[in-house]
Chains A and B, each alone.
Chain A
Amino acid sequence: MQTVTETVVYNRAGQRVVSPDYLLFEAPRTKHFMTGSEAVKEAVKRSSVDASVSYPITPQSEAAHLIGELWVEGYVGVYFRGESEFGVMSELAGCAMAGARAITTTSGPGTLRAMENFPMWAGTRIPVQLVLMARGVNSPLSIQPDNLEVSFLLDTGCMIWYAENAQDLFDMIIAGFVVAEQPDVHVPVITAVDGFFVSHTREAVMLPPDDIALPPYNPYKAPMPVIDAEVPPGRFLRDPFVMKSNYISYATHASWQWEVRSAIERSRPYAKHYLRGLTEEFGDPTAELLFVACGTAAAQSKEAVRLLEEEGIKARVLKLKTIRPFPVEELRQAVKGAKYIFVPEFNVVGWLEREVRRYLYGVCDAEVIGAPRVAGGMTMPPEFIVKEVMKLTGKEVKHVL
């Protein structure tokens, strides 16, 4: 008689290794009441992380601190503090080039200080993860939630995902590693949330058990060899093309930049699977009034849809979970039947409105309205969104006293 033996594999921390699908979709979940920062810790704990580098800046300091606790408990291989955010992102790249699954967190001015590194990450094709807790950027100084900095990251060659709440963030961090490490993707992923609104808000989060974790990263599946000075990316770090003014150097740079963008495009099917779609819809599907939003703006829009319903106005929300890749087809599908498209945002420039206009140009007759827009840490009460919408109808608003 034959006996079948199932091999159980454990990671460094002694957690049972399970498939990403099991961890994200099948494992039983229990309810926990926690902040977004604590949700980051819970996600990293279940992701078999090899390395994390930290640097304090509000509002991500707690998340960075909690990853440090995981290192003390043996769940994270290496953890240390960088000299600055520039140091952090450079050192994280070093960890990843040496074959580590690596994650860090930053906010606002920290993101700007580290900026040079993000296109470098993408160009060297390292699947690192940055949890970005967006905050205002100077000047004047602000520590408050404002997501202007996300617009600076849009074309760095990193994937950008946007979580609405602590639950989204937990699931996105785990899914982020899985998608970023696909051999045909293999670019960095930035999982963004609005600082404070998510990092410091305490809410119910459904978590799988903590004795199971993602399979460890296998660097030998990378589309490029782990640190090798003779082929890209090592070769062009050692011997930059900029030194050579000839056509082959221009062409190499250009084609490599195209390849990074193509890699983001190739992430679509994986992201669709692990995020259960690049977008999420809320409200009456027949409504002519549509909010297109991400993060906290999507949350506030959902509340506004409820208030509008009380006023007898049908509305719906298209929440974008990914910004890079941009969910073009999903957006074009959702705007069918819409007459007014509001894009509420937590920044002064309206970067999401620009994106929405860009992808709807010539394909949709609905009016795109870049409002309401708040910045510098202001809250966007759902009543305020309703007021903005009511301008169209000329009606009085009952909710606002």
Chain B
Amino acid sequence: MKRRRVNIRMPALGGQGAVTAAHIIATAADYEGYYAVSNPFFGAEKRMAPAESYARIGMEPIYDRGEVVYPDVIMVFHPQVITMGKSYTMPFYSGIKRKGLVIINTEEDLLTEEDKERLESLEVKVLNFPATKFAIDIAGTELSTNMAMIGALFGAIGVVGVEAIEEGIKSRFLKKFVASGGTASLDSALERKFKKKLELIEKNLNTARAAYELAQRWAQEQGLEAFLPPPPKKVAV
């Protein structure tokens, strides 16, 4: 199966950093040499309520925008997306493409037999991965859950390396960045928690790296192939 595009949907809860994750995923993919675009779900999001963001990575310029209705990859940031139906689409995997991938931040298996049957019929692989536990163990805070999810994604789909992930994280936190008021206050809360920005980046990088390695091993065991061919060499316009 030859893909030319990977469309990623990230159902999450408000405050988990899914929008930030989409931004970093797209920046990292762009750095690696792919075409990439990211966007949030357009609504009045709030803490613990459903929130969703999207990233698209491809071999040619990407025109498509808006919600990803037919994803190749779904990253479930919180168990409540499944257990409490905090999702914009029901079931959370609706529209997933054949031979797709689902990454769920959970310590236990949350899927019903019916879910498993449907996903198996589409040859979709499921990675249950305790991202929040990873974040607490390595970064010392659950706020790094999104970093673990980013690492797991790239480890599993095998198209973007650790160096590019680092570049994506640094570019998000070191450059002057303008976000909405809510995100800005969240950023300052993060900074207080970590005391120093650089320390924050280091811890985030470590979390992402560890998740990357875990997912890479899992992908090898599952016999997953890279989701995209090597990056096209981009020519500056």
Residues of A within 8 A of B (CB): 29-31, 33, 38, 59, 62, 65-66, 69, 143-145, 164-165, 195-198, 200-204, 206, 296, 298-300, 302-303, 377, 379-384, 399-401
| Contact count band on B | 20 to 34
- Which listed residue, A145, A204, A296, A400, touches B70 by the CB 8 Å rule? A400
A400 to B97, CA, bound (A): 9
Q: Does B37 contact A (CB under 8 A)?
A: yes
Q: Which residues of chain B have C-beta atoms less than 8 A from A31's C-beta?
A: 236
Q: Which residues of chain A have C-beta atoms less than 8 A from B95's C-beta?
A: 401
- Which listed residue, B27, B171, B178, touches A66 by the CB 8 Å rule? B178
A59 to B195, CA, bound (A): 33
Q: Does B66 contact A (CB under 8 A)?
A: yes
Q: Does B43 contact A (CB under 8 A)?
A: yes
A62 to B69, CA, bound (A): 26
Q: Mark B64-78, 1 if CB is under 8 A from A, else 0.
A: 111101100000000
Q: Which residues of chain B have C-beta atoms less than 8 A from A298's C-beta?
A: 63
Are the C-beta atoms of B37 and A59 separated by less than 8 Å? no
Are the C-beta atoms of A377 and B65 separated by less than 8 Å? no
Are the C-beta atoms of A201 and B39 separated by less than 8 Å? yes
- CB A211 to nearest CB in B, in angstroms, measures 17
A-B pairs, 7 with minimum CB distance: A379-B66, A299-B63, A196-B42, A201-B39, A302-B63, A381-B69, A379-B67
A–B Cβ pairs within 8 angstroms, 21 of them = A30-B236, A31-B236, A33-B27, A38-B178, A65-B178, A144-B42, A145-B66, A196-B39, A196-B66, A197-B65, A197-B66, A201-B65, A202-B39, A204-B30, A300-B63, A379-B69, A381-B66, A383-B70, A384-B69, A400-B70, A401-B70
A382 to B62, CA, bound (A): 12
A302 to B69, CA, bound (A): 17
A195 to B43, CA, bound (A): 12
Are the C-beta atoms of B40 and A296 separated by less than 8 Å? no
Q: Which residue of B lies closest to A69 (CB)?
A: B178
Are the C-beta atoms of A203 and B180 separated by less than 8 Å? no
- Residue of B27, B38, B63, B67 most packed against chain A (CB within 10 A): B63
Query: For residues 207 through 237 of chain B, which have their beta carbon under 8 Å from a beta carbon of chain A?
Result: 236-237
Q: Does B26 contact A (CB under 8 A)?
A: yes
Are the C-beta atoms of B40 and A29 separated by less than 8 Å? no
Q: Mark B10-46, 1 if CB is under 8 A from A, else 0.
A: 0000000000001100110010000111111011100
Q: Mark B88-107, 1 if CB is under 8 A from A, else 0.
A: 00000001111000000000
- CB A54 to nearest CB in B, in angstroms, measures 15
Q: Does B111 contact A (CB under 8 A)?
A: no
Q: Does B186 contact A (CB under 8 A)?
A: no
Contacts A204-B30, A206-B236 given; indicate if A399 touches B70 (C-beta within 8 A).
Answer: yes
Are the C-beta atoms of A296 and B65 separated by less than 8 Å? yes
Are the C-beta atoms of B69 and A383 separated by less than 8 Å? yes
Q: Which residue of B lies closest to A310 (CB)?
A: B4
- CB A245 to nearest CB in B, in angstroms, measures 50
A164 to B37, CA, bound (A): 14
- Residue of B37, B38, B66 most packed against chain A (CB within 10 A): B66
Are the C-beta atoms of A200 and B42 separated by less than 8 Å? yes
Q: Which residues of chain B have C-beta atoms less than 8 A from A59's C-beta?
A: 42
| Given contact pairs A299-B65, A382-B64, a sample of 19 additional A-B residue pairs in the complex whose CB atoms are under 8 Å apart | A29-B237, A145-B66, A165-B65, A196-B39, A196-B42, A197-B66, A198-B65, A200-B42, A201-B65, A202-B37, A202-B38, A203-B26, A203-B37, A203-B38, A204-B36, A296-B65, A303-B64, A379-B67, A399-B70
Q: Does B122 contact A (CB under 8 A)?
A: yes
A104 to B23, CA, bound (A): 27
Are the C-beta atoms of B236 and A300 separated by less than 8 Å? no
- Which listed residue, B26, B43, B236, touches A143 by the CB 8 Å rule? B43
Are the C-beta atoms of A401 and B236 separated by less than 8 Å? no
A260 to B166, CA, bound (A): 54
- Residue of A59, A204, A296, A399 most packed against chain B (CB within 10 A): A204
Q: Which residue of A lies closest to B236 (CB)?
A: A31
- Residue of A33, A62, A384 most packed against chain B (CB within 10 A): A33
Are the C-beta atoms of A300 and B42 separated by less than 8 Å? no
Q: Which residues of chain B have C-beta atoms less than 8 A from A164's C-beta?
A: 63
Contacts A33-B30, A204-B30 given; indicate if A143 touches B44 (C-beta within 8 A).
Answer: yes
Q: Which residues of chain A have C-beta atoms less than 8 A from B43's C-beta?
A: 143-144
- CB B32 to nearest CB in A, in angstroms, measures 13
A206 to B37, CA, bound (A): 14
A255 to B144, CA, bound (A): 65
Q: Which residue of A lies closest to B66 (CB)?
A: A379
A29 to B237, CA, bound (A): 8
- CB A179 to nearest CB in B, in angstroms, measures 22
A21 to B174, CA, bound (A): 34
- CB A398 to nearest CB in B, in angstroms, measures 10
Q: Which residue of B lies closest to A166 (CB)?
A: B37
- CB B236 to nearest CB in A, in angstroms, measures 6
Q: Which residues of chain B have C-beta atoms less than 8 A from A303's C-beta?
A: 63-64
Q: Which residue of B lies closest to A41 (CB)?
A: B178
- CB B96 to nearest CB in A, in angstroms, measures 8
- CB B184 to nearest CB in A, in angstroms, measures 11
Q: Which residues of chain A have C-beta atoms less than 8 A from B63's C-beta?
A: 164-165, 298-300, 302-303
Are the C-beta atoms of B64 and A300 separated by less than 8 Å? yes
- CB B33 to nearest CB in A, in angstroms, measures 12
- Residue of A164, A165, A298 most packed against chain B (CB within 10 A): A165
A384 to B66, CA, bound (A): 13
- CB A78 to nearest CB in B, in angstroms, measures 22
- Residue of A198, A302, A379, A400 most packed against chain B (CB within 10 A): A379
Are the C-beta atoms of B44 and A200 separated by less than 8 Å? no
- Which listed residue, A29, A69, A143, touches B42 by the CB 8 Å rule? A143
A65 to B236, CA, bound (A): 30
